[in-house]
Structures are given as structure tokens and as C-alpha cells.
């Protein structure tokens, strides 16, 4: 069974790593630290999160990874990232569709209120004639 990791490091530039072998996580972190020492880029572990993708990755001890371990979801650039791709529709698109529908309904309700008011005054004017 393969263990897959995904790293989203929230400070620009964005890094996303899929690690198949769990022993490569420490090598990846040392590579990122060497890159940071040369470029001046510093990884902020308080802002960075680690989300395990499969069951084997969830069994890795959290002390091996300096990032916050999140087993469910986290928000990245306005999109909820989840460990299960099947949850992406439920966590991202359904709330967006719901908010779009309610905004559209509110917009149309205000238009109908204006039209009802206009029809009311036209009827009243025709009665007065």
C-alpha cells in the first residue's frame, strides 16, 4: 500500500507535494530548509498544515511533521481542501450554489416589489380618472 502526503504551504509560493514513501517526508523538509537558507524563504509552521490523504498516512505520528496536522479540511485561498476528494463537492459547491440562489432570489424580490408598487400606483391613477 502506498502512503501519499500532500503539503500545502500557505506562504507564497505554493508548494504541493505528494509523497509516496513516508521516509521521504524528512528528506523533503530538509530540502525545503536548504532552499530557504539559500533563498531567504522561511516556512512558517504555524501557518502550514499537513493533511493525510489515505489511511496509512493518518497513522504517521504528528511529531515527525512540524506542521499542524489536520485530518478533515482546511481553507486555502477560499477553497476547502479535504482529505477525501468526494467531499469537495459538498464542502465547496453546495454552499456556493446556495448563496448564489439566495442572492438571486433577494435581487428578484426587490425588483418585484418595485413592479408591484408601480402597478399599484397605475391602478390607483386609473381609478381616479
Q: Where are the domains of the chain?
A: 1-83, 85-129
Q: Rounded distance, CA 21 to CA 7, Å?
A: 14
3-state secondary structure of 74: strand
Q: Rounded distance, CA 75 to CA 56, Å?
A: 23
125: pLDDT strictly greater than 70: no
| Structure confidence at residue 64 (pLDDT) | 72
Q: Which has the higher per-residue pLDDT, 118 or 5? A: 118
Tell me the range of 43-52, 64-73, 96-105 where mean pLDDT is highest.
96-105
Q: Which has the higher per-residue pLDDT, 37 or 70? A: 37
Q: Which has the higher per-residue pLDDT, 91 or 54? A: 91
Q: Provide mean pLDDT across the span 58-75.
A: 73
Total-model pTM: 0.48
Q: Do 76 and 8 touch, CB atoms closer than 8 A?
A: yes
4: pLDDT strictly greater than 70: no
Amino acid at each position: 500500500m502506498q502512503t501519499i502526503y500532500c503539503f500545502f504551504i500557505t506562504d507564497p509560493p505554493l508548494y504541493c507535494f505528494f509523497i509516496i514513501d513516508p521516509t521521504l517526508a524528512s528528506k523533503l523538509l530538509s530540502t525545503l530548509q536548504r532552499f530557504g537558507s539559500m533563498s531567504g524563504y522561511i516556512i512558517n509552521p504555524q501557518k502550514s498544515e499537513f493533511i493525510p490523504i489515505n489511511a496509512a498516512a493518518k497513522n504517521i505520528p504528528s511529531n515527525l511533521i512540524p506542521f499542524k496536522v489536520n485530518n478533515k479540511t482546511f481553507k486555502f485561498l477560499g477553497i476547502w481542501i479535504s482529505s477525501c476528494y468526494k467531499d469537495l463537492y459538498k464542502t465547496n459547491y453546495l454552499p456556493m450554489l446556495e448563496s448564489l440562489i439566495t442572492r438571486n432570489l433577494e435581487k428578484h424580490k426587490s425588483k418585484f416589489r418595485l413592479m408591484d408598487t408601480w402597478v399599484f400606483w397605475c391602478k390607483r391613477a386609473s381609478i381616479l380618472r
